[in-house]
Amino acid sequence: MKKEIIYTLAFGVSILFNACNTSKTAQDTTQENISNEVIVDRFADIQVLRYDIVGFEKLSLNQKKLVYYMAQAGLSGRDIAYEQNNPYNVEIRKCLEVIVGNYQGDQENEDWEKFLTYAKRVWFSNGIHHHYGMEKIMPEISESYFKTLVKETNATISSEAIKVIFDKNTALKRKVKDANVDMIVASANGFYGKGVTQKMVETYYSKLIDDNDPTPIEYGLNSTLILKNGEVIEDTWKSGGRYGKSIDKIIFWLTKAVTVAENKDQANALKKLIEYYKTGDLKTWDEYNILWASSTKGDIDWINGFIETYGDALGKRGGYESIVEITDFEASKHMKVVAENAQWFEDNSTIMPEHKKKNVKGVSYKVVQVASESGDAAPATPIGVNLPNNNWIREKHGSKSVSLGNVIAAYEKAGGKGLVQEFAHDQEEIDRATKYSALASKLHTALHEVIGHASGQINKGVGQPSETLKNYASTLEEARADLVGLYYIMDQKLVDIGLIPSLEVGKAGYDNYIRNGMLTQLQRLELGKQVEEEHMQNRQLVASWVFEKGTKEKVIEKVVKNGKTYYDIKDYTKLRALFGELLKEIQRITSEGDYNAGKILVETYGVKVNKAIHAEVLKRVKPLNLAPYNGFVHPIYVPIRNNKGAIIDIKIENKQTFVEQMLYYGKEYSF
């Protein structure tokens, strides 16, 4: 069962996501409403924002050092994410950096602008494939112009890499999720070596994995599967192994972080993380996650490692990721009531009694300020995270959930009402969204992360979802967590414990979820494409299923006015019951490892797109001038030293442009 970083702000103000890391979709905004204090850059389908960190100066010197050291550790693994996304990415990125940094020719012409846009898109996506859609980003310049730029700046790049950039038949998608093809061979990521096939991968792990093991490791999480002398082997990511130079830098900074840890629990967790990076042992990774999940007392926290498996079509390999966090105490105090009531939510769920946890362990929840992000978490970021991912650790030792408060605040500053105004059925829906959707978004994120991913249990003797549900596991897990949030956001319990003023908040959440799942998220697809990304599949699956099942009772009515399609919820109580019914079925599928039922559910409701509706959505969003995807530049931490070289303070610099930051990162963190 994958406990991902949610990449969606599910309601109202923004429809983003990286967490649960959390899909990043379009904002409810029009360009004229955007705050210039937040916007850093805008290109292609992307908008780059800036977030604030409040109160950093109030931290102790050791706390500031801890933030600095962990940020340095995170950025030291940046190359790994590029390499994982495609073997040519680092070479291509370095070439782009040289050209952008050194080109002295005409920078006012259309070709240069197109080249710069291509470079920005590669930086934003950590490689040559779109960060969300996974398709290759084709440059709008000629190969000859690119070669001219290479020559005039003394950049270097191989002919093979140039072919990967320009050839329309090479490396077309970073990840292919299509059960009708060999997904490993068809995918252009760097998780598998040349000649490795899907059948080889499945056979290799079927021999290793024991479904009756009560404490299984996350098989394949930190290795590249390669062929050596005709034999399939794992090339482990560790010090002295693959990615060793970057990992050694990560270890260097983690070792410094140990010296300024806030308490013994933090220090022990960091030491175990260092041991894991040195050995590559996945049992050590589990030991680290147990220590990390139990370390809840400090003001500073982090996520660091090979964690989320969305980049791998088979859901095994973990993408490198780093987030450094500072607790937002006031916001956390208000929302921790969700975690405190975790057992009540589990007991009152619609899932079968045998699938409920009898004792929900150690769910902690905080609202945090992001201090730094890298790898899979940047520039496109999650808004919420729930970890660790290993099911047995969550069941026995608990988990941590966080909402990234300053990231959400930045989205809200840049937000408006464009999508709501265009796609809401009536003024009542618009007014409700204006009043309640921001709160609904934050609450659904909390319920999704804290309750959704922590709920339910797998039947004894049934393997992990990555093995039983295979390429459908992530979509079904996201749907399961979303449904938990949807079911409870319309529960009187939330009013009684003071989280919402009335059930109108839940109605605003339902309005937006159906509107997004049925219509607005389609703006991120090219016309004629099917839905492949897991979070999009999840939302379409849920929305389409409840729409169909509620047809006879007209729970949701499809309305066409002046050639425009709308979805109008007629009965919120019955819709809640349908969400609960689907939750029960998806939990059953997960608990029993019912691959066929999961496949039918995803393929029937989550993949296919009505081309006419899709064309209509694209036509309606075009005048809004939206950037469907958003990401961030991050603060730079600068140590202040005395005349003996000792650090006496850490200062924040937060003024870099997107291009400046990408060039700076390329210079400072490429190993």
520 and 651 in a single domain? The answer is no
The owner of tokens 């009187």 is: 492
Domain coverage including residue 153: 61-171+642-668
Structure tokens at 476: 């079904």
C-alpha span between 617 and 529 (Å, rounded):
14
For residue 71, tell me if it sits in a domain. yes
Q: Are 388 and 1 in contact (CB under 8 A)?
A: no
Q: Are 501 and 530 in contact (CB under 8 A)?
A: no
For residue 116, tell me if it sits in a domain. yes
For residue 233, tell me if it sits in a domain. no
- How far out from the chain centre does Cα 274 lie? 24
The owner of tokens 């934003």 is: 124
468 and 360 in a single domain? The answer is yes
Q: Are 120 and 660 in contact (CB under 8 A)?
A: no
Q: What is the chain's alpha carbon radius of gyration, rounded to the nearest angstrom?
A: 24
pLDDT of residue 57: 94
100 and 46 in a single domain? The answer is no
For residue 554, tell me if it sits in a domain. yes
For residue 180, tell me if it sits in a domain. no
67 and 53 in a single domain? The answer is no
Residue 424 backbone dihedrals phi, psi, to 5 degrees: -70, 145
pLDDT of residue 22: 41
35 and 145 in a single domain? The answer is no
Q: 78 by DSSP, 3-state: which?
A: helix
368 and 353 in a single domain? The answer is yes
- DSSP string for 236-268: EBSTTSBTHHHHHHHHHHHHHHHTT-SSHHHHH
pLDDT of residue 3: 35
623 and 663 in a single domain? The answer is no
93 and 36 in a single domain? The answer is no
479 and 582 in a single domain? The answer is yes
Number of domains into which the chain is organized: 2
Structure tokens at 211: 């479904």
C-alpha span between 413 and 34 (Å, rounded):
7
For residue 273, tell me if it sits in a domain. no
Q: 234 by DSSP, 3-state: which?
A: strand
Task: Find out whether the peptide bond into 388 is cis, omega within 30 degrees of 0.
Answer: yes
Q: What is the mean pLDDT of each run of 10 residues along the chain (671 residues)?
A: 34 35 36 58 96 94 98 98 98 98 96 98 98 95 98 98 97 94 98 97 95 94 97 98 98 98 98 98 98 96 97 96 93 84 96 94 89 98 93 92 91 78 96 94 90 92 90 95 97 95 97 97 92 94 98 96 97 98 98 97 96 96 90 97 97 96 97 91
pLDDT of residue 334: 73
For residue 565, tell me if it sits in a domain. yes
Q: Are 397 and 293 in contact (CB under 8 A)?
A: yes
482 and 340 in a single domain? The answer is yes
C-alpha span between 404 and 397 (Å, rounded):
23
Amino acid in the structure at residue 525: L
DSSP code, position 129: B
pLDDT of residue 415: 64
Query: At 665, which helix (H) or strand (E)?
Result: helix 658-668
Q: Which residues, at least 6 apart from 302, have a Cβ–Cβ distance to it below 8 Å?
A: 70, 74, 322, 323, 324, 325
Its pTM stands at: 0.88
- Of 55, 5, 632, 69, which Cα lies nearest the Cα of 327? 55
314 and 374 in a single domain? The answer is yes
117 and 73 in a single domain? The answer is yes
pLDDT of residue 417: 67
The owner of tokens 């449904």 is: 483
Q: What's the Cα-to-Cα distance from 564 to each of 15, 90, 558, 559, 627, rounded to whole Å? A: 21, 45, 10, 8, 22
DSSP code, position 530: P
For residue 260, tell me if it sits in a domain. no
Instruction: Count CB atoms within 10 A of the CB of residue 424.
Output: 23
C-alpha span between 547 and 533 (Å, rounded):
21
